[in-house]
C-alpha cells in the first residue's frame, strides 16, 4: 500500500532564512503525482507546488522548490527567504491515477521573527 | 473563474442526530469531487470521491454517506451521528486526476 511519511512534526526557522521539509513515500508505481499543500491558521488548504513523477526537473514556484529523488522516493520542499506568512501546516501528498490522494501527517512550520 | 462553496462553517449536533453538509462548485463542469475529514492536528483522510453524477466511491467504512445529485453538487450525510464523527470536513474539487485540488473553507463539526 502506498504511504506518505513526513518525519518532522514541527520545524522552526528564522525569518529570511531557508528551511527544508522532508517527505518520503512508498509506491511501486512509476507514474504518479506529488504535491505540497499549505494550511495556514485559517485552515484553508492551498496548493504550494506540484510535481509529475515522469518529469526529472524539480518543480519551482517563486520561493518554493522541491528536491524530487524518484529512486529514493523522496520529495522535500525548500522554502527560501522565509516570511512570517509562510507559517502553516505543510502536507505532502501522493496521487495515483485512481484519484486517491494519500496524505502525510503534516509538518508545522514556525517562523521566528 | 471557478469557486467552491461549502456550508455551514460550524455545526454543533447531538449524538444520534442526522447530518447534511453541502458543497457546490461554480464555473466548471464534470469536476472530480471529494470529501475529506481532518482530525485536530492531523492530516487529511479521504472519505468519498466522485467522478460523475451518481458515481460515489467510499474510502473508509463508517456511518457517513455521500451523494452527487447534480454535476456540481456533493452532499455528505449521516442518519445518526456518533461522537467519533466530530472533526473538520473539507470539500474539494479538481479538473481531473493529478491536477490541483481546490478546497472549500471547511466545516467544523462538533458532535456532543
Q: Is the predicted pLDDT of residue A59 greater than 70, yes or no?
A: yes
pLDDT number for residue A98: 66
Distance from CA of B42 to the nearest CA of A (A): 6
B97 and chain A in contact, CB less than 8 A: yes
Dihedral sign from CA coordinates of B13, B16, B20, B21: positive
Q: CA–CA distance from A107 to each of A38, A87, B24 (Å)? A: 10, 10, 30
pLDDT tens-digit readout, B58-100: 877 679 999 999 999 999 999 999 999 999 999 999 988 778 8
Distance CA B50, CA B75 (A): 11
Average pLDDT of the residues in A50-71: 94
For chain A, first and last CA: distance in Å? 41
Average pLDDT of the residues in A44-55: 93
**Cβ contact, residue pair A37, B42, below 8 Å:** no
Q: How many CB atoms lie within 10 A of CB A20?
A: 15
Distance CA B6, CA A99 (A): 21
Helix, strand or coil, per DSSP, at residue A85: helix
pLDDT number for residue B62: 78
Task: For cell 490541483, name the residue.
Answer: B100
Share the mean pLDDT of chain A.
93
Beta bridge partners of A51: A34
With beta carbons under 8 A apart, name residues in chain A contacting B52. Answer: none
pLDDT number for residue A99: 63
Three cell numbers at B85? 464523527
pLDDT tens-digit readout, A66-99: 999 999 999 999 999 999 999 999 999 998 766 6
Find the CB nearest A44 among B32, B97, B105: B105
User: How would DSSP label each residue in B53-68?
Assistant: TTEEEESS-SSEEEEE
Share the mean pLDDT of chain B.
92
pLDDT number for residue A101: 83
Query: By C-alpha distance, which of A88, A91, A76, A80 is closest to A15?
Result: A80
Q: How many CB atoms lie within 10 A of CB A58?
A: 15
Average pLDDT of the residues in B4-10: 94
**Residues contacting residue B99 through CB under 8 Å, at least 6 positions apart:** none
Distance CA A20, CA B32 (A): 32
pLDDT number for residue B61: 64
Amino acid at each position: 500500500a502506498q504511504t506518505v511519511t513526513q518525519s518532522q512534526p514541527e520545524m522552526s526557522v528564522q525569518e529570511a532564512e531557508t528551511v527544508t521539509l522532508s517527505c518520503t513515500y512508498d509506491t511501486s508505481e512509476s507514474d504518479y503525482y506529488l504535491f505540497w499543500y499549505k494550511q495556514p491558521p485559517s485552515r484553508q488548504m492551498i496548493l504550494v507546488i506540484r510535481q509529475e513523477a515522469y518529469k526529472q526537473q524539480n518543480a519551482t514556484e517563486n520561493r518554493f522548490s522541491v528536491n524530487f529523488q524518484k529512486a529514493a522516493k523522496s520529495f522535500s520542499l525548500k522554502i527560501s527567504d522565509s516570511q512570517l506568512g509562510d507559517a502553516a501546516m505543510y502536507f505532502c501528498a501522493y496521487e495515483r491515477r485512481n484519484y486517491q490522494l494519500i496524505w502525510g501527517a503534516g509538518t508545522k512550520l514556525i517562523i521566528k521573527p | 473563474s471557478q469557486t467552491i462553496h461549502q456550508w455551514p462553517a460550524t455545526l454543533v449536533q447531538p449524538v444520534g442526530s442526522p447530518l447534511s453538509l453541502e458543497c457546490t462548485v461554480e464555473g466548471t463542469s464534470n469536476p472530480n469531487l471529494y470529501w475529506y475529514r481532518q482530525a485536530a492536528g492531523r492530516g487529511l483522510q479521504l472519505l468519498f470521491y466522485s467522478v460523475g453524477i451518481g458515481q460515489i466511491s467510499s474510502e473508509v467504512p463508517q456511518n457517513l454517506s455521500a451523494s452527487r445529485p447534480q454535476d456540481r453538487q456533493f452532499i455528505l450525510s449521516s442518519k445518526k451521528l456518533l461522537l467519533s464523527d466530530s472533526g473538520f470536513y473539507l470539500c474539494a474539487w479538481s479538473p481531473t486526476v493529478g491536477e490541483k485540488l481546490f478546497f472549500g473553507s471547511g466545516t467544523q463539526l462538533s458532535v456532543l
